[in-house]
Each structure stands twice: as C-alpha cells, then as structure tokens.
Amino acid sequence: MADPIELEQTDVRLGLLRDVADGKVADDADFTPRLHVDGEEPVDVRQGVWEMERVRWVEQPFTSRAWQVTARGRSVLEEAGRG
C-alpha cells in the first residue's frame, strides 16, 4: 500500500485525535461520526474523522461503532506533546 498523504497537524485536528483516543467519537445509527461530550448534544465530526482515516491516524474496527487511534495516530499525538 502506498504511503498516505500527509495532513497538517492543526490544533483542531490534534484535539479531535485526542477525543478519539479518549473514546469520545463513535458513529451514530446512520454511520455519521459524532463527538460525544457529557451533557451536550453529539456533534457531527465526519469531515475531520474521515480526513484522519485517510492518512491512517484513526480507524474504525468492524466490531464497534467507536473510532480508535492507530499506531500512526499515537505517534502524531506523542510528537505533538513534545512541542
């Protein structure tokens, strides 16, 4: 498989990646990725999640609606934490 395109590590993308790592992003009944925050209405984050999926920062296992950070995504978070 060819290397994926690179994606700029903006604060918003890194924040969403952290939310995925914290288990806060899952597909709803119509398979739209949504950010779930206690006491708030779930927010549609499909564009950001799908961008990160394209560069293999996140993936969705076939056994769950919850999105997960990949090893590549964890590396991005670790690198950003050193900044």
- pLDDT score at 50: 96
Q: Of 1, 3, 19, 2, give the one whose Cα is nearest residue 11.
A: 19
pLDDT digits (tens, 9 = 90+) for 27-49: 999 999 999 999 999 999 999 99
- Give CA–CA dist 28/44, Å, rounded: 9
Q: pTM score, two decimals?
A: 0.88
